[in-house]
Amino acid sequence: MQFDETDKKLLLFLQQDAKQTTKELSYKLGLSVTAVYERVKKLENNGVISKYVAILDKTKIDRNFIILCHVKLIQHKKEYVMQFEKEVMNLQEVIECFHVSGDYDYILKICVKDMEDYRNFMLTKLTTLQHIASTHSSFTISEVKNTTEITL
């Protein structure tokens, strides 16, 4: 898919604030309301914009302890991989999970309240999953950057 400069700016603006009115966007882009409206609709219909979501402040909902957990499976049989992935998807503490190359098979981003909750999560949820050989947790000291915005 090809985007001109106006589309790129529009996508940037919408990634920063999805609640802007078409009127505001038309002013920022130097276009008419109709033109902006049609571009936005096109990007939505194309699936370039997949959804609009509210982003919560993790400090205000007691979920500001972030852990990056590296997981190795005992084997890479398709059955094991599928089952592990299915189970991980259902863990609400796991915000992201990537199947990766390298020393570990998966890297999980986990959000909980504090170390006690994490201990609890490990004991009652993660380590009860099947086919896990080992895990290695990296605790977040600080969140340097954490955005959903992709610059085109």
Contact footprint for a copy of itself (CB under 8 A): 1, 3, 11, 14-19, 46-58, 60-61, 63, 66, 68, 85, 88-89, 92, 94-102, 104, 106-107, 111, 136-152
How many binding residues for DNA (CB under 7 A)? 15
Among 32, 127, 130, 138, binds DNA (CB under 7 A): 32
Pick 107 or 132: Cβ nearer a copy of itself: 107
By CB under 7 A, residue 34 contacts DNA: yes
Q: Which of 73, 117, 71, 116 is nearest to 93 (CA)?
A: 117
Q: Which of 7, 132, 144 is nearest to 71 (CA)?
A: 132
Distances (CA, A) of 6 to 39, 40, 45, 51, 151: 9, 11, 17, 20, 13
d(CA 144, CA 151): 18
Interface residues with DNA (CB under 7 A) are 6, 21-24, 30-35, 37-39, 41
